[in-house]
Amino acid sequence: MMDPLYRFTPWDHVMLGERLRGCRGAIMDLLAVAPPESETSRLARETIAAVDRLRTEMDCHMQITRQLRRDPRRLSRHVYGGQTHFSGCLATAEERARDDFAGWEMED
């Protein structure tokens, strides 16, 4: 049986990476104001650890399923890691034929 995650496209990975980073940021904001010994703080720390594990797992999956030669700008290393944000951009059919991430660019 084929792993259903193999159906994730570069678009799916970029969108999920953006959402996971946003989720982590929101939980970090909550953690900053929660009393350190509270149940809320404990749950927030556990959630951040779980989100980080998920980001790592999805990054590994993407690296395994995406061919490096199809990522000439090396954008894949920024999809799940760091604070980089992506925005959509126009890409020609020729660019999409050689670059899995042709429709994306990193924001400054």
Q: Return the pLDDT at 1.
A: 60
Token pair of 86 as six digits: 């992506």
Q: Specify if 2 maps to a domain.
A: no
Q: Specify if 92 maps to a domain.
A: yes
Average pLDDT of span 40-51:
97
Q: Specify if 3 maps to a domain.
A: no
31-44 per-position pLDDT tens digit = 999 999 999 999 99
Q: Specify if 87 maps to a domain.
A: yes
CA distance linking residue 43 with residue 48, whole number of Å: 9
Q: Specify if 35 maps to a domain.
A: yes
CB 78 within 8 A of CB 57: no
Q: Specify if 1 maps to a domain.
A: no
Global pTM reads: 0.86
Total length of the chain: 108
Average pLDDT of span 80-89:
89
In the chain, the number of structural domains is: 1
- 54 class by beta-carbon count within 10 Å (0-12 exposed, 13-18 middle, 19+ buried): middle
Query: Could you list the residue range(s) of the whole structural domain that residue 95 is in?
Result: 8-106
Vertex 85, ends 65 and 90: CA angle to 5°? Answer: 75
CB 11 within 8 A of CB 103: yes
